[in-house]
Amino acid sequence: MPYLHENKIKELELKANKIRQSIIEMLVEAGSGHTAGPLGMADVFTAFYFHILNHNPKDSFWEERDRLILSNGHICPVRYAAMAHAGYFPVEELKTLRKFGSRLQGHPERERLPGVETTSGPLGSGLGQACGIAYASRMDGAKFRTYCFMSDGEHDSGNLWESAMFAGKYKLSNLTGLIDRNNIQIDGMTEDIMPLENLRAKYEAFNWHVLEIDGHNFEEVVNAVEQAKAIYEKPTVIISHNIPGKGIPEIEFDYRWHGIPPGSGPEDKIPKAEQAKHFLHDLRTLQGKIKSEHE
């Protein structure tokens, strides 16, 4: 993995903001989809697609590529946007999100879009898929790494913990999980719906190495992945503390934006008719601030 120098950090910050703008634009065009989670994970996806992953957008089936499994498939707008900006397909195609015949469905489908490793939908299933890939690759002597992105809310699902036990038992050190710890789910705050803490202690009890990071700090994201590579006797999970709705102050930490697009959200702060325009203005203003901070 290349050294993360200051110019690279600026490049990643600008790219993440562009990805957030694409997320808003595609959600508005679709008229449906999830807003808060994709915005909150934009920095993590940017770090992976533009610095961490060993991959080739021009050869999405390259055997030595790292495998990135998205378990919480409902945040797929951020994955699609990151993939498009990385060169997997034209950015213009993002406007086809959730449309009939589109490759960009509301949950990723493996056979529709090259570069998507698994079809996701039922929450809690992705870690089991990732375990299977990591276990098989170790049997084959393959050198690629498997990453599994999960939501915090899907840890309400029992099948996820079965997979966590499997990974711990078989010491899948070539597997790294990353939890989007944004503290919200569709009906409210996670600790009100079904308390998850202490997540660190739970994973440690399942024989995982646990790291906690600020998911909006590129250095912390990259360093955590590097540390995971140094752990040889157990799998690693990165608890990434993220702000849902990141980049748009009016909706940050508001669980009501979990599963709705701009134009359909609550109007206590911004009227529906103005939401899309306001959100894009926020992000474009932030783009200018990022540029000036690094000059």
Cα gap 71→143, rounded to integer Å: 22
Pairwise CA distance, residues 132 & 146, whole Å: 10
Inter-residue contact 81 to 26 (CB < 8 Å): yes
Q: What does the pLDDT read at residue 294?
A: 62
Q: What is the reported pLDDT for 295?
A: 61
Instruction: Provide the whole-model pTM.
Output: 0.96
User: Would you state the structure tokens that stand for residue 225, as one six-digit string?
Assistant: 């992945």
Which tokens is 131 given? 């375990």
Pairing state of beta strands 175-181 and 146-151?
parallel
> How far is residue 207's CA from residue 74's CA, in Å, rounded to a whole number?
28
Contact between residue 253 and residue 243 where contact means Cβ atoms under 8 Å apart: yes
Q: Give residue 2's pLDDT.
A: 72
Q: What is the pLDDT along the chain (295 residues), one digit of tens a residue?
A: 777 889 999 999 999 999 999 999 999 999 999 999 999 999 999 999 999 999 999 999 999 999 999 999 999 999 999 999 999 999 999 999 999 999 999 999 999 999 999 999 889 999 999 999 999 999 999 999 999 999 999 999 999 999 999 999 999 999 999 999 999 999 999 999 999 999 999 999 999 999 999 999 999 999 999 999 999 999 999 999 999 999 999 999 999 999 999 999 999 999 999 999 999 999 999 888 887 776 6
The answer to whether domain 6-293 has CATH 3.40.50.970 is yes
Task: Tell me the domain boundaries of the chain.
Answer: 6-293
Count Cα atoms within 13 angstroms, Cβ side, for 213.
Answer: 27
Q: What is the pLDDT at residue 163?
A: 98
- Of the CA atoms within 13 Å of residue 226, those in its CB half-sphere come to 12
Q: What is the pLDDT of residue 293?
A: 75
